[in-house]
Amino acid sequence: MQKRIFSGIQPSGVLHLGNYLGAIKNWVALQEKYDPIFCVVDLHAITVPQKPEELRQKTLEVAKTYLAAGIDPEKSLIFVQSHVPEHAELAWILNTITKIPELERMTQFKDKSKAFRQNLNAGLFNYPVLMAADILLYDANLVPVGEDQLQHVEIARTLARRFNSLFGETFVVPEPFVVKEGMRIMGLDDPKKKMSKSAASEYNYISLTDTPEKIREKIKKAVTDSGKEIRYSADKPAIKNLINIYALLDNAKPKEIVESYHGKGYAEFKKDLAEVVVGFLEPFQEKYNEIEDREVLRILEEGKSKAKKMAGEKMEKVREKVGLL
């Protein structure tokens, strides 16, 4: 039997290169060897305030991004989280076996609760439990995510084991799956923080929908380290990050990039990098613009019925184990 993979992205903003290199690019490769499920996690997105009309639009856009990036609906199951109410139901049950200190330890919660202090809601706190429900409902073996999500996958593992020991063997204990270089693409304006769609400045990220002019401008403005040489080293985090982006998009090794820029400066490197990014994003955007909303909705509808069937069968077992009449 093929191993199953499950992953998801929140429709909470425009997707950026970090999302592509840290997540979607790997999904496209993985769908060939595994049994893949990719979800648009809209219930997670509402843990921070969203405008309803925009949320609907962004949900459609994230699904379209999956398709344009190469997720093939013939090979992968694609659906929207809220279309399968079992996610929320299992999350509730898992909440009852989750300990509060386990959630208080989550760095994402700690960070976000600082940013949204005036509006700290229980959903933000329980976020990892819903994510565990997403994964466990489908017996996923592997969860391909960026480094920032490892802690959440760990909670899913803990909850699977705990449920199994309390109520008998029910869930597969999932493993995280991370790709080293794409793990953490850093902000262009601050190489100490990850590239993020909720960053304060648009110069933090390259959005997948940025125009060529915008991309060139953003890369030109990207911060660099002291010195002049193109070196791949931990004490040059800004240039290291740019080399990573270059290498991942150009399917090269960082070492090869460094060698080809021997004796050349930052300006030349950045100019070429901008063209690599533009060269990657142009065909992506072309595909994206060709896909009609109608087609995306049809694929999501099909995904919904398949996912509902799988989740429904699992929940039957869970209800019985827990003792719900």
Residues that bind ligand LTN (CB under 6 A): 6-8, 10, 41, 44, 131, 134-135, 143, 145, 149, 152
Rounded distance between C-alpha atoms, residue 74 and residue 109, angstroms: 36
Chain Cα centroid distance, residue 321: 32
The answer to whether 276 and 52 have CB atoms below 8 angstroms apart is no
Residue tagged active-site, from 25, 58, 64, 112 = 112
Nearer to ligand ATP, 148 or 302 (CB): 148
CA pseudo-torsion sign 143, 24, 70, 28: negative
Asked if 197 is an active-site residue, the reply is: yes
List, as one string, the DSSP characters of 236-290: -HHHHHHHHHHHHHHT--HHHHHHHTTT--HHHHHHHHHHHHHHHHHHHHHHHHH
Judged by CB under 6 A, the residue of 4, 6, 10, 216 near ligand ATP is 10
Strands (E), the chain: 4-9, 35-40, 77-80, 142-144, 175-177
Q: Which residues contact 234 (CB under 8 A, 6 or more apart)?
A: 240
Q: How far is the CB of 157 from ligand ATP (least distance, A)?
A: 16
Specify which residues 9 forms β-bridges with. Answer: 40
Q: Which does 18 bind (CB under 5 to 8 A by kind): ligand LTN, ligand ATP, none?
A: ligand ATP
Size of the site for ligand ATP (CB under 6 A): 21
Q: How far is the CB of 60 from ligand LTN (least distance, A)?
A: 18
Q: Which does 68 bind (CB under 5 to 8 A by kind): ligand LTN, ligand ATP, none?
A: none
| Contacts of ligand ATP in 150-209 (CB under 6 A) | 182-185, 194-198
Rounded distance between C-alpha atoms, residue 166 and residue 86, angstroms: 21
End-to-end Cα spacing for the chain: 33
Rounded distance between C-alpha atoms, residue 287 and residue 219, angstroms: 24
Q: How far is the CB of 172 from ligand LTN (least distance, A)?
A: 13
Taking CB under 6 A as the binding criterion, the range among 19-27, 77-85, 269-277, 307-315 that sits at the site for ligand ATP is 19-27
Q: Which does 197 bind (CB under 5 to 8 A by kind): ligand ATP, ligand LTN, none?
A: ligand ATP
Sheet containing strand 142-144, edge to edge, reads 77-80, 35-40, 4-9, 142-144, 175-177
Nearer to ligand ATP, 40 or 93 (CB): 40
Q: Which does 184 bind (CB under 5 to 8 A by kind): ligand ATP, ligand LTN, none?
A: ligand ATP
Residue 248 within binding range of ligand ATP, rule CB under 6 A: no
Q: How far is the CB of 261 from ligand ATP (least distance, A)?
A: 23
Q: How far is the CB of 177 from ligand LTN (least distance, A)?
A: 10
Judged by CB under 6 A, the residue of 148, 250, 275, 302 near ligand ATP is 148
Which amino acid type is present at position 74?
E
Residue 50 within binding range of ligand ATP, rule CB under 6 A: no
Taking CB under 6 A as the binding criterion, the range among 11-19, 83-91, 255-263, 273-281 that sits at the site for ligand ATP is 11-19
Q: Which does 22 bind (CB under 5 to 8 A by kind): ligand ATP, ligand LTN, none?
A: ligand ATP
Judged by CB under 6 A, the residue of 4, 5, 6, 23 near ligand ATP is 23
List, as one string, the DSSP characters of 169-197: S-S---EEE--TGGG-PBPSS-TTSB--T
Which amino acid type is present at position 235?
D
Q: Give buried/exposed letters for 160-195 (b at 16+ CB in 10 A, else e).
A: beebeeebeebbbebebbbbeebbbbbbbbbbeebb
Residues in the site for ligand ATP, rule: CB under 6 A? 9-10, 12-13, 18-19, 22-23, 145-146, 148-149, 182-185, 194-198
What are the residue numbers of the active site? Answer: 112, 194, 197
